[in-house]
Structure 1
Amino acid sequence: MTNNLLPSMKYKKKFITLIELMVAMALTSLLLTLLLHFYRDMEWWNQDINKSQVKAFQIFYVQNRLSDILSHAVSPRTEEKDFFFYTSQDVNGLLKPNNPSLVFTYHFGPNRDPLFANHVLGRLYVDVHDNLRLATLPSPKFWPSLASLRMRNEILMEGIESLAFNFYIPPQKDRSLVGNKAPQGSFNKDNYPLVDIQPADSWEHSEWKSEYNQLPAMIKIILKAKERKEPITLIYPFPFSDFTIIYNK
């Protein structure tokens, strides 16, 4: 009796129509496309950030490495026989054409290998594969006793198209302004006469000759790197230079 009073209920199974299926597939495809574009853009951004970080680290490394080396360039005042500082052109195909190199003696510091301890001879140059390199050799005073000349060669930076140097000579001023304490170098001796380098107070010197037999006050290193619009310019003073920069009050 009770069963007869209840309304008859029939459950019908609902089927997805073809139109609904196509709409769902289109929305899913659109969502996946947007996600793929988002992840692709994120990947590009990450690559750009990584490239920028690598470039920044390379410049930071070169700045600090050269700062450490050039600040220890020796002076003829104290190391007359061990002193070398001059620019040089290509040596047996070692350098990239039309690019100079800088040859200088610097203090390497303590080393387990006695040939590479204390004073060593360095050459800063760009090779034919566009690498900025620092070649380090034992002091020339050891060369006569060596059966073969050993060399350490370090890549400081890759992708360098050109290398240039500029040297700064300060103007001559009254040394009494600094208590007349400016040191007199060995280049003032008879065997090393002082060379009057002109013009003074200028960065126009792109070449430094061995007969100058002295350190400049400062050096400017200009690197033109691939994939960079602006050149990399690095400037370093020489603490042991006999050129004294005197500032007016």
Structure 2
Amino acid sequence: MRSPRPTSRRTAFRTTAVLAGATAVLALPVGAAFADSPAAPQPRVLPGVERPAVDRPITPPTAPSSKPARGYVTTARLADGSVAKIYEIGVGHVEADVFAGTTRLGTLAGRDGRPAYGRYNGLHITLYPNGTVSSWVEDAPKPKPKPQPKPEVVQESAARIVMPDGNVAEAVYGAHGDRVDLSTANGHRLGTIDLKDPNVLNDGWMYKLVRDGRDGRDGRHVLKFVVIDGKSGGNSWVYDFDSGRLIERYMVATGK
């Protein structure tokens, strides 16, 4: 039986050196060990297996715009031919972009319900809180006010006659023709007579508008107003139409 081979001194030294070397490696600072280590290989992607997630920097969310939205209202033509595009921004806040052709001249902004004013090359602009604009040009002649038609003035004249029956007649002449308005003493209207319908009866009394047969100076017919009492058999009174003056009286009992 062979006896165990004795360990040589060379083998024992080699073992000691390996252990000493291992101890030296472990004694290095941890940071130095990661710094000197080669980059670790990326894990291999197998078919059907997703690639491992890679950390990416987190992007902060975009802050919403603080500029309020503009709501289009209308486009208005200005005094010099340019235009204003009007927008509503919020309560009491309107804006108007002024354009000459495709060139933007500027923006008017009215806030807190107050109008805004602007001027460009003699053009004056006012933007109102309700979204309307007015404008005028310095060198342009001020528009002349249009003449307003005058209301037609109807010239009329009336002669008041208190008739024998106590009623009242007003002989009226004017632009709408000659007539006699009849009423009671307390103002209750009885009717009207004119040359187209010259006779009317009221409680036994007859009222008549008659032509005299002569023409007046102004070309009008000379008219008379006649009142006849039918209850008394025909007593009558004749009045001048223009003045209302009693000019004739006829009584049945005595003749004239």
TM-score higher than 0.5: no
Answer 1 or 2: which has greater helix percent: 1
**TM-score normalised per structure 2:** 0.21
**TM-score normalised per structure 1:** 0.21
Answer 1 or 2: which has greater strand percent: 2
Larger Rg: 2
